[in-house]
């Protein structure tokens, strides 16, 4: 402490000269020294307990025996914007003739052109959901890393097997789209030709009405001779003949209507083939959504497993360095505490133990002892002047408990013996 006091002050040359031997003696205040030593010892003992606790701490991320190390991650892929409702052609307004209530050929051409454009847009829209899922995988994977984990040898082997399994699942995942746009267009063209062919054989409303009326009249005219003959047999016979003629004509009319209904059913069935194709497209897209969900979920789970594996390696390196620092502090604290206790005993200072809270406020475990302020007494900062010898010179005390410094020169005497001749 005397050397430190000399080092932080400018000592007059008359008191301290080169190549001379001096005796230094410091004067201390027992009360200030006792307060300093007790405060320092309390902090050192608190830091020692803190270091001991840190050495025995278990890792934050550890797994019990039998616990699942890698939890399956779920990345949803939902095509919320692609219900496919606008892909279907309505057939509820198809009538008994090709132009009632609207022209069927014009309706079909307009609908097919519109729905074909919708199919093209429909097949592109799921890409947005896939892009969102990919971004979610990236974001979640970034949050996995920089964590540390503690695994035993068997858990590491289990993790390595899990990594191999997940990697194989990723490499063998079939994320190709099951929807072939060119093949769909080819089928649409086939259906289009078939529908137009069926429309071509259907009659317009005017033709249906005129032809139907003409056929019924011609058919009814075949019964006129029969009705004239019945007049000769009286009114009752004529009424019966008229009823039979009208009934037969009604049956023929019903047969014509049935024929028109069958033709309508045929054209509706042809148009429904287009809707069946669209249903298969929607099902294929929904199936691809499930495939992408499985793929991204597996990929995210793989990234989680990789982060755990990296965290184990990182922890081994980090633990090695951290434990080495803590062990260094443990030894340094033991030595420093012993020094302060010896100093207290030498001055007859009574130990006043007190529990220090918030150890990290005055102890930084990352700093080695030589750079750690805990291992040094609190510097007074040049606030206290103390006398140097008795001539009235004043100097600054590095610590509060130093009250004075005396420097006395020692005279050297040598016995010189003469050489015997």
Residue 288: exposure state from Cβ atoms within 10 A (0-12, 13-18, ≥19)? buried
Q: How do the domains of the chain map onto residue ranges?
A: 1-57+348-409, 104-325
Instruction: Give the residue, 51 or 267, on which the prediction is more confident.
Output: 51
Mean pLDDT of 24-48: 90
Mean pLDDT of 167-184: 77
CB-based contact 273:280 (threshold 8 Å): no
CB-based contact 79:283 (threshold 8 Å): no
Reported as a pLDDT band with limits 50, 70 and 90, residue 306 is: confident
Say which range, 21-35, 71-85, 282-296, 392-406, has the weakest mean pLDDT: 71-85
Give the full edge-to-edge strand order of the sheet including 22-28: 22-28, 402-409, 385-388, 393-396
Which residues, 6 or more positions from 368, have their beta carbon under 8 angstroms from its beta carbon? Answer: 325, 328
Instruction: Give the residue, 318 or 112, on which the prediction is more confident.
Output: 112
CB-based contact 42:336 (threshold 8 Å): no
DSSP summary character for residue 79: -
Mean pLDDT of 251-275: 75
**Is the pLDDT reported for residue 95 higher than 50?**
yes
CB-based contact 403:36 (threshold 8 Å): no
pLDDT digits (tens, 9 = 90+) for 325-361: 888 999 999 999 999 999 888 888 888 888 888 898 9
Q: How many angstroms separate the first and last alpha carbons of the chain?
A: 51
Angle (deg, nearest 10), helices 224-232 and 235-346: 130
Residue 89: exposure state from Cβ atoms within 10 A (0-12, 13-18, ≥19)? middle
The beta-carbon contacts of 153-157 under 8 Å, at least 24 apart in sequence, are 155/63, 155/69, 156/309, 156/312
Which ranges of 57-78 would DSSP assign to H, the alpha helix? none
């Amino acid at each position: 402490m005397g050397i430190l006091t000399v080092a932080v002050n400018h000592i007059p040359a008359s008191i301290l000269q080169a190549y001379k031997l001096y005796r230094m003696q410091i004067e201390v205040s027992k009360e200030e020294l006792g307060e300093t030593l007790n405060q320092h010892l309390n902090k050192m003992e608190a830091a020692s307990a803190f270091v001991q606790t840190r050495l025995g701490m278990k890792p934050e991320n550890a797994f019990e025996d039998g616990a699942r190390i890698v939890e399956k991650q779920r990345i949803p892929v939902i095509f919320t914007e692609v219900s496919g409702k606008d892909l279907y052609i309505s057939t509820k307004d198809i009538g008994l003739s090709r132009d009632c209530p609207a022209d069927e050929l014009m309706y079909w051409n307009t609908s097919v052109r519109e729905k074909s454009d919708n199919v093209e847009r429909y097949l592109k829209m799921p890409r947005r959901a896939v892009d969102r899922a990919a971004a979610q995988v990236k974001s979640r994977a970034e949050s996995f890393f920089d964590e540390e984990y503690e695994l035993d040898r068997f858990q590491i082997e289990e993790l390595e097997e899990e990594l191999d399994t997940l990697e194989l699942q990723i490499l063998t995942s079939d994320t190709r789209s099951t929807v072939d746009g060119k093949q769909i267009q080819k089928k649409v063209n086939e259906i289009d030709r078939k529908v137009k062919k069926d429309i071509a054989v259907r009659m317009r409303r005017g033709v249906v009405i005129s032809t139907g009326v003409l056929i019924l009249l011609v058919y009814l005219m075949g019964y006129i001779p029969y009705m004239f003959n019945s007049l000769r047999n009286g009114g009752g016979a004529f009424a019966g003949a008229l009823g039979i003629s009208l009934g037969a004509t009604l049956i023929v009319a019903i047969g014509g209507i049935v024929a028109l209904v069958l033709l309508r059913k045929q054209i509706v069935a042809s148009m429904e083939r287009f809707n069946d194709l669209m249903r298969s497209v929607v099902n294929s897209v929904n199936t691809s959504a499930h495939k992408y969900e499985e793929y991204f979920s597996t990929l995210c789970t793989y990234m989680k497993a990789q982060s755990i594996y990296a965290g184990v390696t990182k922890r081994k390196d980090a633990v090695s360095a951290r434990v080495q620092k803590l062990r260094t502090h443990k030894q340094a604290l033991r030595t420093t505490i012993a020094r302060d206790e010896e100093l207290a005993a030498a001055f007859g200072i009574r130990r006043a133990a007190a529990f220090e809270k918030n150890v990290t406020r005055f102890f930084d475990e990352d700093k080695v002892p030589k750079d750690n302020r805990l291992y040094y007494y609190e510097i007074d900062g040049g606030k206290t002047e103390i006398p140097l010898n008795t001539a009235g010179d004043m100097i600054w005390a590095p610590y509060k408990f130093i009250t004075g410094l005396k420097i006395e020169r020692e005279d050297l005497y040598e016995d010189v013996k003469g050489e015997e001749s």
